[in-house]
Structure 1
């Protein structure tokens, strides 16, 4: 009983912190049902303007096209990034070479280079190959990232290497070892990497804004920014757009939250 009483302040602090964390989501959801005037007056209760906001949003903005583009970019980036970075992380840890640490150090140095420094050369490169306004131009720069390679390499250090040797003795090829043994064993790391990559690709704004110069090719973050850039902003419609833009990432995180926690901590089962 005494231990429970001692833990009450901690639980109370966590409860207050949880309320502060959930409040922006609540206000966003409530504001999507209110008019712009109600949002500006900080109304905290659900309103009756939801269907009106939906009608205005879908009649003035290409929401379906933007959602489709964001979905294609996020899913394509996630699949390709997990494939490339997992193979790279697996190779850095499993195969022994004197130069691999040097190559890894060079990759880690790339994290220190801000994207703004490489944005103009990237745009010139894609412009020369005729990929401006192409969704592939958004996906390709995000396929291989030093962070994901490092994540898979660190997770691979807890992977039982004896299994690899046993599989090689049994005659399995390196590709079969990776696909049939490594991938199922490291599924929590794959889940964590998938959540991170999907969220980054879905919420990416700067590079799509630069490379997708035609307004007919929009992503959800770009569409939301366009709503707020007008002379008169309907904040009820804006909050609805933000809510729709946030739902996919929230769904992916809630579906994979347990595997995400295991993958971040490096747990291998």
Structure 2
């Protein structure tokens, strides 16, 4: 072993231990989904044979298919609408730049400091007045326009050459055509990063759907997991299986878009 390798060895050991510590909760979740509740409480670290038994109990206790459907509907709807609205807003803030828009952007960023609990009751009252309680519309709309995504697209738009916009205008293209045909194709990595962030946030959202969806028939996966713990006795094997099922869509999405996600975040920071 050379001196250079010897100097790097402590760093490699530290990174390896950190990686193991990060992966262990995921491993324990997967293994626990195959074990009985007693094995989970005893911290068994080896796979068991109770996977199908846990699945049968889960399906008997909760409507998993319905919860997955409503979670998917809310998450996909929120993601698509948020990408459209926030990308247009970020593009407008940068391409049609002015001091007034800078002040408005600063005001929007300040709004990020307001906790959701402070706005939850007025939001519920507003949706109740419109008769939208117990609907996916009420779940999706509050998350469609977020200051963070607007800022993300605005920062990405700063690297977009404004000369192209001027040339497209001289060629007779309208602003929407410039946005959809020229700007968006160059922002694929930013779109991927925003899609991952929005989908994961919408999928894991618990508090607002719990408040606005008063009927369990419209419950999402986080609500389903909460209901599994609501009884006097909790079957932790079934609970871990539900957590695993709820985690799969976000994990798959992140694995598919992880490279574009990293490029979009680093590009926005630059």
Taking structure 1 as the reference length, the TM-score comes to 0.97
Tell me what 1:153 maps to. Answer: 154
Tell me what 1:107 maps to. Answer: 108
Tell me what 1:265 maps to. Answer: 266
**227-236 or 95-104, which deviates more:** 95-104
Deviations 1:14-55 (A, max 9, x none): 111000000000000000000000000000000000000011
Deviating beyond 4 angstroms after TM superposition, the runs of 4 or more aligned structure 1 residues are none
Pair 1:267–1:132, CA change in 2 (3 A): closer
Counterpart CA distance in 2 for 1:145 and 1:120 is: 19
Taking structure 2 as the reference length, the TM-score comes to 0.97
Contact 2:133 2:213 in 1 (8 A): yes
Tell me what 2:8 maps to. Answer: 7
Q: Does 1:119 align with 2:120?
A: yes
Let me know the Cα RMSD of the aligned residues: 1.2
Q: In the TM superposition, what are the counterparts of 1:161-176 in structure 2 within 5 Å?
A: 161-176=162-177
Q: Does 1:27 align with 2:36?
A: no
Counterpart CA distance in 1 for 2:8 and 2:184 is: 41
Contact 2:67 2:224 in 1 (8 A): yes
Counterpart CA distance in 2 for 1:105 and 1:266 is: 21
Tell me what 1:254 maps to. Answer: 255
Deviation at 1:191, TM superposition (A): 0.5
Secondary structure, in 3 states, of the residue corresponding to 2:148? helix
Tell me what 2:227 maps to. Answer: 226
Secondary structure, in 3 states, of the residue corresponding to 1:45? coil
Deviation at 1:5, TM superposition (A): 3.2
Counterpart CA distance in 2 for 1:65 and 1:82 is: 26
Contact 2:152 2:268 in 1 (8 A): no
Contact 1:32 1:53 in 2 (8 A): yes
Deviations 1:90-129 (A, max 9, x none): 0000003331112111111110111011000000111111
Contact 1:126 1:132 in 2 (8 A): yes
Aligned residues: 268
Tell me what 2:80 maps to. Answer: 79
Q: In the TM superposition, what are the counterparts of 1:199-210 in structure 2 within 5 Å?
A: 199-210=200-211
Deviation at 1:184, TM superposition (A): 0.9
Tell me what 1:183 maps to. Answer: 184
Counterpart CA distance in 2 for 1:163 and 1:9 is: 50
Deviation at 1:66, TM superposition (A): 0.2
Deviation at 1:267, TM superposition (A): 6.3
Q: Does 1:56 align with 2:54?
A: no
Counterpart CA distance in 2 for 1:120 and 1:98 is: 34
Secondary structure, in 3 states, of the residue corresponding to 2:117? helix
